[in-house]
Chains A and B, each alone.
Chain A
Amino acid sequence: MHTFANPTRFMRWAEASQPFLLALGIGLGFGGMIWGLMVPPDEEMQELIKPLFVHVPSAGLSLIVYGSMSIAAFVALVWRHPLPEIFCLAAAPVGAVVTVVALVTGALWGKPTLNTYWDWRDPRMVLELLLLFQYLIYIVLVRVLSQRDPALGRRVGSIFLVASVVTVILSKFVTEWFLVLHQGSSGANVVELTGRVIMNALGQGGESGAEPAEDDGIAGVYVPPLLITMLGTYLFYMAVGIWLMRYELIRMRLRSLRRKQTAAHEFLAEATGT
């Protein structure tokens, strides 16, 4: 853990692993999507099962990214370490992009399945939009405050992230607590079905792999392409995030070098009397 907490070591590790993560992410992500397009139609939803393979990964990732940013912000506030702050700066645009993807795919999927693109009375949809605003507020807040004092900008941003993590917690459980248009969380269902698919592959689970789960109805046959797409999407955006972390680290060092350069120029001007 401490090995990666050192920014120089992190940069070295990031430069070495990033191309592999990116290639694996693109391969698995697009491979999973193509597999998702070729799955047999669902009994109930028919062809409309297909957006599942792009909506679930992006919606899940939008919550995971914000949740991990909030944890990193907490670590940065308590231990005053720069790397978690850099992680937050790099992860915010990635999170905003996946949230937009989740909102667009959800709206397009909602029209034929829920008979509407958007419903303001549905807390899951509204919370996802709120999450997008939170990503944007964090980005703007840090950028604006950093023009005066970068350290202050990052610290205020961290406080905002920790305080606003409640949106992620609410998004996760709102489908269980309230009567909403949006279907229940697929997470537990996917985990259960993954277990069944693995057991089947090992020859211990009978022939229940393709059976729908009791409540949500995601059949086991859809789990492998869903997991592949999720893994690919997560690796892809992780690779992009590492790229942006490198950018933020270099920018931070550049700023520090510029400050030193200016101080050196001022000192020389004073010393030589020019």
Chain B
Amino acid sequence: MFDDRFIAVWGSYGAAALGMIGALVVARLVLNRVRRELETLKQDVQK
């Protein structure tokens, strides 16, 4: 069932989809980090 042809087709589509999902997740994570940094700075300024 899992011959080279099957792996070539579904593996490559899976890799492409994973790449897109991974990029999206990483972008969200770094943006959340910068938001936290902004919050910290805001609190520092308010002190």
- Chain A interfacial positions (CB closer than 8 Å to B): 26, 29-30, 33, 37, 46-48, 50-51, 54-55, 57-58, 93-94, 97-98, 100-101, 104-105, 108-109, 111-113, 233, 236-237, 240, 243-244, 246-247, 250-251, 254, 257-258, 261
Interface string of B18-38 (1 = CB under 8 A from A): 011011101100110010011
Q: Is B15 in contact with chain A by the CB < 8 A criterion?
A: yes
- CB < 8 Å: which of B4, B20, B31, B44 contacts A29? B20
Main secondary structure of the interface of B (DSSP, over half): helix
Distance (whole angstroms) from the CB of A206 to the closest CB of chain B: 32
List of B residues within 8 angstroms of A108 by Cβ:
7-8, 11-12, 15
Residue of B nearest to A254 (CB): B37
Given A48-B5, A50-B9, A254-B41, 19 extra CB contacts under 8 A: A26-B20, A37-B13, A51-B9, A54-B16, A93-B23, A97-B19, A105-B11, A108-B8, A108-B12, A111-B8, A112-B4, A233-B16, A233-B20, A240-B23, A240-B24, A243-B27, A243-B31, A244-B27, A247-B30
Interface residues of B (CB under 8 A from A): 3-5, 7-9, 11-13, 15-17, 19-20, 22-24, 26-27, 30-31, 34, 37-38, 41, 44-45
